[in-house]
Chain A
Amino acid sequence: MSETLTTGANREKDDTVLEVEGLHKAFGGLVATDDASFAVERGSITALIGPNGAGKSTIFNLVSGFYEPDAGTVRVNGTDVTGMEPNEVATEGLIRTFQTPRKLEGMTVREAMLVGASDQPGESFLKLFTDPSGVEAAERANIEDAHEMLEQFEIGHLATQPATDLSGGQMKLVELARAMLAEPEILLLDEPVAGVNPTLANKLSDHIARLNEEGVTLCLIEHDMEFVMNLADPVIVLDRGSVLVEGPSEAVRNDQRVIDAYLGGDSA
């Protein structure tokens, strides 16, 4: 895809799913996102890397509607989603996961999975009474999909386990599987392999590659360089709230500015 390294983001992409322009966010005096612009091309696995506190998670929160930007625009599939509520952004096809896995108390794994499916008639209070057979049919189909999805992620045996009994790595797999039930156009993953053992990290990497082959566009934040190098192209480097460079992983890794950013990264 991207052949060479560009200073700042590469904006010469034909078919973008996500476009971020001039995004700005300050928390009091601290500028977490500073005029950040970048684009994610359809069908790519785009990585967002950068030293701790570079503002990666903040960008995810701005893009997905959890934070309100001070300035700038976010477009998903050409639709301006700036300032929309998170659920509205999700409805536009952008689904995200969180840096710390979220557990659903009192649910089995498949129950936790079922929350992912969108457009469920059973989520309308009235339809529970006016159209129980429609609710049942949709629920049946969703349960079927949930089981199938768990099988694809090789965790079918966990379906009826309590969701709180999972290991951190299994939790990440379930989150990924659940996000897929929402049929996203683009999936934002915040540190998908943080705290996961290497074997499971490799598995996760394979699954992400598989999803990508099935046509899902991904944008992920990750500190694990090896993981990023194997999986992602292009890589966007963020430093102090703005985009430093963008390019293929190999070129990014050897760029002096990137090395400097990481070495002096925590300068307050």
Chain B
Amino acid sequence: MTLRERYDAMTRAEQGVTLFVGGFGFLLVLALLTGTLTPTYTLYLAGLTGMYILLSFGLNAQWGYTGLINFSVAAFFGIGAYATALVTATNSPLSIPGGVVVGLVLAILASAVIAVAIAIPTLRLRSDYLAIASLGLAEVVRQIVLNQRDWTNGSGGLRGIPDVFAGWPVLGGLPERLPGLEFTEYAVGVPGLFQVRVLGFTLDTPFWTDLLNFVVVVVFVVAVYLLLRRVHRSPWGRVLRTIRSDEDLASALGKDTYGFKLQSFVLGSIVMALGGVFYAFLAAYVSPGDLEPINTFYVWIAVILGGSGSNRGAMFGGFVVVAIREGTRFASDILPSQLPVNIPVLVDVYGAIVSDFGSTRLLIVGLLIVLVMRLRPEGVLPPQRELVWPSALEERDE
């Protein structure tokens, strides 16, 4: 298929998102070339996006598929991050030997066990009970991490988390061994009209470290996406979607809805923990601050905005959330702190917006959600096609 045919075969929502992402990518390349963004920071942002995508995948597998309301995204994320950090951090109070693999296994086990523990008493009850219990769980996990100093080092956090592959053959210490690449600066432009300086940076160890992280998160995201796509289109996923629309109907047709809800909840929680595992390596430092409820909130925004029930929507949502989170930070750096023209009222409003970007960010998120709910309540990219095991439809629909 040529690109053109591919584009034509898309639905309008898909075309819109493709154009948006394409345009955004183009701006990113420009920003990189002109030095507005450094390559290392860009890779860090990409890693952060990957992490949010994993969290959104997880929540989507719970809320989007099955309609389970989970307000403890940050807790499952934290379980993943802390499981990894406890194994690998230099100041970990628990001396569990191991690297990324042990951390990963521990994260999966811990998140699965805690997911089951909270799901068993609540999933038989009305759906709001899980919501309330998960809200409590998020706080409990945060308080434990904060107060059990002899396990978690409390508010000091866990630092000195090495590279993902530290100690592995070949991959271990690779970033240190790779040579620095120097790019000479050029000046391009139309003489007399404008001129910009491009390139002029050196790619060395921090860059290679982030590049390796980026590769890791891409592998995580792709693997999880492929897994989720398969289960979402399967009869298993169909039962979850039936439960979301009408749980009574699913039971009346003989489906053990409790069992399905449990599976969906555990699956989503494990995926969230994977996001945490990756974050520990990305930031090389985890602290109780990472478990703040605001992160749960961002992930909900991502899923609702992207389109509940859609894996690609969750991906898009994760991307937008990072764009807002980091974009506002970026804007606060480059915008002048005072409005250049003196219009009464406006000057004050502008001053308030620019001086407190933390709040402005929430304001933007709020406005965005209101807009989406008004104009497109199903989200930007809800599932676009019939969800049936694809190979079973071959021949039939030709």
Contacts and interface: CB of A to CB of B under 8 A. Distances in A.
B235 A120 contact: yes
A91 B254 contact: yes
B248 A123 contact: no
A87 interface: yes
A124 B253 contact: no
B382 to A, nearest CB: 7
B225 interface: no
Contact of B396 (A107, A115, A143, A178): A143
A35 interface: no
Contact of B253 (A66, A85, A95, A125): A95
Contact of A102 (B246, B387, B389, B392): B246
Identify which of A103, A105, A115 gathers the most chain B CB atoms within 10 Å of its CB. A115
Contacts of B254: 87, 90-91, 95, 118, 182
A125 B265 CA distance: 13
Contacts of A104: 241-242, 245-246, 249
Interface string B376-398: 00000011001111011100100
Contacts of A102: 245-246, 248-249
A23 to B, nearest CB: 19
Contact of A139 (B235, B244, B248, B255): B235
B162 interface: no
B182 interface: no
B312 to A, nearest CB: 14
Contacts of B238: 107, 111, 114-115
Interface in A102-158: 102-108, 110-111, 114-116, 118, 120-125, 128-129, 135-136, 138-140, 142-143
Given A64-B252, A116-B253, A160 B386 contact: yes
Interface residues of B, number: 36
A128 B230 CA distance: 8
A86 interface: yes
B360 interface: no
A120 B234 CA distance: 10
B249 A98 contact: yes
Contacts of A105: 244-245
A115 B392 contact: no
A42 interface: no
A187 B242 CA distance: 20
Identify which of B231, B234, B246 gathers the most chain A CB atoms within 10 Å of its CB. B234
B309 to A, nearest CB: 6
B251 interface: yes
A24 interface: no
B230 A108 contact: no
A118 B256 CA distance: 11
B233 to A, nearest CB: 9
B253 A90 contact: yes
A171 to B, nearest CB: 12
B32 interface: no
A192 B250 CA distance: 19
Nearest to B242: A115
A140 B391 CA distance: 8
Contact of B236 (A85, A98, A118, A125): A125
Interface of B: 230-231, 234-236, 238-239, 241-242, 244-246, 248-258, 263, 267, 309, 382-383, 386-389, 391-393, 396
12 contacts: A64-B252, A65-B251, A85-B256, A87-B250, A90-B253, A95-B252, A107-B386, A110-B388, A111-B238, A125-B267, A128-B231, A140-B392
